[in-house]
Structure 1
Amino acid sequence: MVNIPNAGNLVPLMFQAQVKGRSQLQYIDQNAEVQDSQRWASEWTQEVYPHPPDLGKTVAARTYKMQWRFVTNGGQFEGIIFPALGAFGLPFYPGSSMKGLFCQACTSEQKQRYRLTKNSDEPSLLRFHGGYPVNDWKQNLVDIVHPQQKWQVQTHNTGQKPSNETGFALISLSEPAIQFGISSQLPDTDWEEVWAIWEQALGYGIGCRTSSGYGLPKVRLTESGEEDYPIPIQGEQLYKAFLKGEGQAPQLIGGEKEFRPNLFRGSLRGHALRIFGGLTDNKTAEKLVENLFGGVNDGGTQGLLTCAFKTSALNLGTFTDGYGEPTYEVAGELRWLLMSPRQLDEIKQQTLKKLLQAFMRFALLFGGFGKSWRRADHRLFYEEYYNRRKPLIGCHWQWDEKSLTYGAKVSRLNQVGRFINQVRQIASEWMQLQGIEPDERNHANWREAWHPDCVEVWGRLAEGAEDSVALKWLHEPYQKENHRFREAEKSIRQSSVTGQISQVGRLWHRMYPVVKLVDNPKNPGKKKPRSTPNYLELLTIFPDDSDKCNDFLDFLDTEPEGFRRLW
């Protein structure tokens, strides 16, 4: 018998048990140089066949590029989302899934004509061969999911992250070009119609995690690989806006940077929790949010909404002032879609449109999207901070030119409080349509439930980017020591109010660009939006009764630098 030292380490992770000490593909070990998921992906791609299968001359094929990421969970590995594997270990989209999606996009007459009805005793006249990636799909395979609902919104002690809210890995393809094949038994097949049906089906998204922006098509490719025809996103459009922003880019497990469009869904889901949490109890608020955005409780819920972000400009860079942190500058069109219009009557659809508009304006007014969204971008509003060679903090998002009218809805301090009340009123209307009566006296006991007893909003008008006042209070004493008047130094830096590394604070700071409506010379009687150099400087505070928090609120009561309470 030959003794092979460390024989267990020679066995590919694909064939090892998913237990601690062997193979844990989903688990992220902060102390490991190489994650199991990275090693798995490397072992897999080294052995996989380098070319997609040849579909043959009898199969019609077209290739489509995905907007962002794509995955169809094959279910081969316990605890991790991993692509279905087809011929020669290649990731693929199964023909059975393709057929099901195609049928959903067909009319009744088309189903009959192509023998795609379930009660047909004869085989269908169309055969679906699935789809295989045909570009270099092996890069950036190890994806990450990081649920943070409790830590970001609900938990009061944020110094300790909830145990079930650590990041975990999944395997997905980054911007793959997928070739789909269809063959027909009809001698005079109308291929233009067949592909039109398939492209409509594609527009709803394919694979899993489509509500988070996975599996959405971008464009049809020619045989030479050139972009030919953009594929429209399907679904009942409830909301559309053009946005632009900059901030800290997320990093994948291997250190690769990318802009992740699912940050919009995560942000609105969090704000929906805050708003509903101020109007009803914990369980009911969570149920309302899962009905909109989906969830895993009680066997899983498929949400009504999906979001699609079409990037028009993207620059991934690096903040090089001694830290090398990844950054993004992005602009694009964000759409929120109702994927099953028949689930809602006309009144509910119109109310849901109003609710989405309210949530989006709320998100833009009080913060941003993605990492460090609770802070204004220090690069834009606190240049002095970076003269000290400090790490990157904050982000800055605003309405793009085509959507500036949204920004003009709140352009003065006295409109902020009215807007918050409007958001809560629209959320109450949606609740009532779901058969739920708002009950503010029994609101959720979360850290950031949006209720008058839980949150205060303060603001002032800043005359230019350099006129930010509150940013200095986050890093320096807001009250300096004064022996003459026996005043002690007071600060909220590195406290429960501002938070620190691995701790979520209780204060949001936002510099919201002021947009005014002015006369339009080309269209008398009509107004047009115009950007101004001013900002609404807003502080949102969730008090915790600590001495530092109470002292700071007492300080704000003196209305320093023009700050006043808005809500």
Structure 2
Amino acid sequence: MTVIPDAAKKVPMMFRAQINGRCQIQRLVPGADEQDAIRWADEWVDKAYPNLPELSSEVQTRTYTLTWRFITNSGQDEGVIRPVIGARGWPFYPGSSMKGIFRRACTKEQAELYCGKTLPGGEVEPGILRFHGGYPTDTAWTENLVDIVHPQQNWQVKNGNKESGAFIQISLYKPELRFGISSNAKDVDWQTVWSIWEKALSTGIGCRVCAGYGQPQHHTGNIIYQGRIKGQGQAAKLIDGTGEFRANVFRAALRGHALRIFGGLTNADMADRIVNNLFGSVQGKGNIGLLGMSFRDSRLEIDTFGRGSYAQPTYNVEGELVWLLASQLANSQQEDVLKKLVADLTRFAMLLGGFGKSWRRADHRLFYEEYYEEGYKPLIGCHWQWLGERSLIRDVQVRKLEQVGEFIDKVQQTAQDWMQLQGITPNPAQTTSWREAWHPQNVQVWGRQASEREDSEAIFWLHGPYQEAISRLQPEGSIYRSSITGQMGQIGRLWHRMYPLVRLVKDPKNPNKPIPKITPGYLELLTLFPDDSPESKQFVQFLNSQQNRPKGFEKLWP
């Protein structure tokens, strides 16, 4: 008998048990020469047939493109999220899943006609439609399969404790999918059938649709907010070192800001409950949130900034951010307030910070170019702004410093209105102890008007003293590498934002209609969560002393 040495190591990863030492797709091992997920995906792609599985000529098909990644969880490997694999080794969206979301988009009569019903005696009467699922249309699905998930909520908002390290899942990147439906009945109204399917598809397909996964290019009927934006910053780095702009940064930002706002209006358990109801949760038995999100990029450039060990992938992106109603509300009043809440949270995120990695800092490439002239330096910050006339008129709620506090009050009031509609009484006297809870005793917002990009003041304070020492007159003041600015492994307590200043002017052709005018100026905003450290107390004292001086910051809120 021939003995094959190390026979177990020659078994393809797909057929190994998901245990340590055999195969663990979801595990990201720092410094490993090869991750199990990379080998698993390479072996899968290598053996998959090159041609798309063909459907019968009797099957009606339509093709749709998804805006970002698409996840289906096969459920075949414990603890691992990886696609359902069908004919010829191709990933697919199962017909049973397709039928399920199609049925939810139907009226009662349509559901019984198309999907079937249960008769009084318990016998099942099938519907007239058969759902064949969806397959990718070409082999582009084989690229960028390995996806990274990195939980950040507690680390960013609450107490600085990381929930877990990064882990891996397998998903398809911006696939084009062909869906099939057939029927044995005659005279099927296929226009109605496909319109129902498009309504169902608008809710997203697969897993994590609320975070932007599985969302189509076009939505019908469930949009509660949309606005055009553009931004630049650090792209997420995948396992192979390539960069990717990850659309779920928008959901992460709004969920975080919702926690901050509600965390300043009620206790921790209630704030978590409100936010979980809005965005969904895996806590306990889990729940589907009211909100879904989609980002349709119209321009996306992935590049690299820096050299050597500081080389970092970057993005430059433009697109439309869309928030969707994923569940039914009790009444129209709740829907009206929810629309205001989502719009306010989106504008709050744009006013005071940004999205994605290093969102608490303004992009140093724009506002502190000399920083990179001193040698090899890591990329810091991001920059986002509204795009297009509609958003520049509607979404820009702050056009001068005195409007900042008014807008923040408005966001808090909208949050309180939402709470009351849920039967929850706001109680700012008993709030959370989270580091970034939005309460007048916990946060301060300061601002000044900068005439141009080079006119930023605070960006230099992140790397050096804000006050030079004068012998026997004043000590040096610095927040550099303190609890205020943070450092490696520590979230700071200061946000720095350069918010583009947009004015409204009269349209010469129509004096009754304002038009937006982008100016060279910015509102330079500091959001500070003071602590009891000497650096924090001295910094607040310094800001107060500079309020009436040239280039000094004014306290805008509270």
Q: TM-score w.r.t. structure 2 length?
A: 0.94
1:263-316 Cα offsets, whole Å, 9 max, x none, are: 111100000000000011111101100000001112101100011111111111
Q: Residue 178 of structure 1 corresponds to which residue in structure 2? A: 177
Asked if the contact 1:319–1:327 (Cα under 8 Å) also holds between the matched residues in 2, the reply is yes
* Aligned residue type for 2:339: K
Matched, 1:282 2:268: yes
* Aligned residue type for 1:316: I
Evaluate the alpha carbon distance shift between residue 168 and residue 234 of structure 1 in structure 2; reply closer, same or farther with a 3 A threshold: farther
Matches within 5 A, 1:139-178: 139-155=143-159, 158=160, 161-162=161-162, 164-178=163-177
Asked if the contact 2:398–2:407 (Cα under 8 Å) also holds between the matched residues in 1, the reply is yes
Matched, 1:378 2:364: yes
Partners of 2:115 and 2:44 lie apart in 1 by: 39
Asked if the contact 2:306–2:379 (Cα under 8 Å) also holds between the matched residues in 1, the reply is no
Instruction: Tell me by how many angstroms 1:170 deviates.
Output: 0.8
Q: Residue 191 of structure 1 corresponds to which residue in structure 2? A: 190
Of 490, 494, 499, 1:503 maps to 490
Partners of 2:13 and 2:467 lie apart in 1 by: 58
Q: Residue 325 of structure 2 corresponds to which residue in structure 1? A: 338
Instruction: Tell me by how many angstroms 1:2 deviates.
Output: 4.5
* Aligned residue type for 2:183: S
Instruction: Tell me by how many angstroms 1:22 deviates.
Output: 2.7
SS at match of 1:61: strand
Of 280, 291, 298, 1:305 maps to 291
Asked if the contact 1:408–1:517 (Cα under 8 Å) also holds between the matched residues in 2, the reply is no
Q: Residue 447 of structure 2 corresponds to which residue in structure 1? A: 459
Evaluate the alpha carbon distance shift between residue 115 and residue 288 of structure 1 in structure 2; reply closer, same or farther with a 3 A threshold: closer
Matched, 1:95 2:112: no
Among all aligned residue pairs of Structure 1 and Structure 2, give the percentage whose two residues are the same amino acid: 55
Instruction: Tell me by how many angstroms 1:43 deviates.
Output: 1.9
Instruction: Tell me by how many angstroms 1:468 deviates.
Output: 0.1
Q: Residue 225 of structure 1 corresponds to which residue in structure 2? A: none
Partners of 2:334 and 2:395 lie apart in 1 by: 26
Q: Residue 238 of structure 1 corresponds to which residue in structure 2? A: 224
Specify every segment of 5 or more residues in structure 2 that has no aligned partner in the other structure, as ranges. none
* Aligned residue type for 1:180: F
* Aligned residue type for 1:80: V
Partners of 1:12 and 1:408 lie apart in 2 by: 54
Instruction: Tell me by how many angstroms 1:509 deviates.
Output: 0.2
Asked if the contact 2:494–2:528 (Cα under 8 Å) also holds between the matched residues in 1, the reply is yes
Asked if the contact 1:134–1:178 (Cα under 8 Å) also holds between the matched residues in 2, the reply is yes
Partners of 1:61 and 1:465 lie apart in 2 by: 52
Which stretch shows the higher mean deviation, 487-496 or 547-556? 487-496
Instruction: Tell me by how many angstroms 1:446 deviates.
Output: 0.4
Specify every segment of 5 or more residues in structure 1 that has no aligned partner in the other structure, as ranges. 219-231
Evaluate the alpha carbon distance shift between residue 469 and residue 110 of structure 1 in structure 2; reply closer, same or farther with a 3 A threshold: same
Instruction: Tell me by how many angstroms 1:4 deviates.
Output: 3.8
SS at match of 1:179: strand
Matched, 1:130 2:118: no
Partners of 1:526 and 1:123 lie apart in 2 by: 57
Partners of 2:20 and 2:221 lie apart in 1 by: 43
Q: Residue 317 of structure 1 corresponds to which residue in structure 2? A: 303
* Aligned residue type for 1:309: F
Matched, 1:525 2:512: yes
1:141-175 Cα offsets, whole Å, 9 max, x none, are: 011111111000001xx4xx42x331111110011
Which stretch shows the higher mean deviation, 521-530 or 457-466? 521-530
* Aligned residue type for 1:47: K
Matches within 5 A, 1:351-370: 351-370=337-356
Q: Residue 222 of structure 1 corresponds to which residue in structure 2? A: none
Supply the RMSD in Å over aligned alpha carbons. Answer: 1.9
Q: Residue 408 of structure 2 corresponds to which residue in structure 1? A: 420
Instruction: Tell me by how many angstroms 1:134 deviates.
Output: 2.4
Instruction: Tell me by how many angstroms 1:356 deviates.
Output: 1.2
Partners of 2:118 and 2:362 lie apart in 1 by: 55
SS at match of 1:480: coil
* Aligned residue type for 1:478: Y
Instruction: Tell me by how many angstroms 1:36 deviates.
Output: 1.5
Asked if the contact 2:52–2:138 (Cα under 8 Å) also holds between the matched residues in 1, the reply is no
Partners of 1:252 and 1:117 lie apart in 2 by: 46
Instruction: Tell me by how many angstroms 1:432 deviates.
Output: 0.9
* Aligned residue type for 1:556: L
Q: Residue 399 of structure 1 corresponds to which residue in structure 2? A: 386
Provide the aligned length of Structure 1 versus Structure 2.
547
Asked if the contact 1:408–1:514 (Cα under 8 Å) also holds between the matched residues in 2, the reply is no
Partners of 2:154 and 2:112 lie apart in 1 by: 49
Which stretch shows the higher mean deviation, 33-42 or 59-68? 59-68
Asked if the contact 2:133–2:180 (Cα under 8 Å) also holds between the matched residues in 1, the reply is yes
Instruction: Tell me by how many angstroms 1:113 deviates.
Output: 4.1
Of 430, 433, 436, 1:448 maps to 436
Partners of 1:398 and 1:293 lie apart in 2 by: 24
Matched, 1:80 2:101: no
Q: Residue 534 of structure 1 corresponds to which residue in structure 2? A: 521
Asked if the contact 1:204–1:234 (Cα under 8 Å) also holds between the matched residues in 2, the reply is no
Q: Residue 411 of structure 1 corresponds to which residue in structure 2? A: 399
Which stretch shows the higher mean deviation, 54-63 or 305-314? 54-63
Q: TM-score w.r.t. structure 1 length?
A: 0.92
Which stretch shows the higher mean deviation, 546-555 or 194-203? 194-203
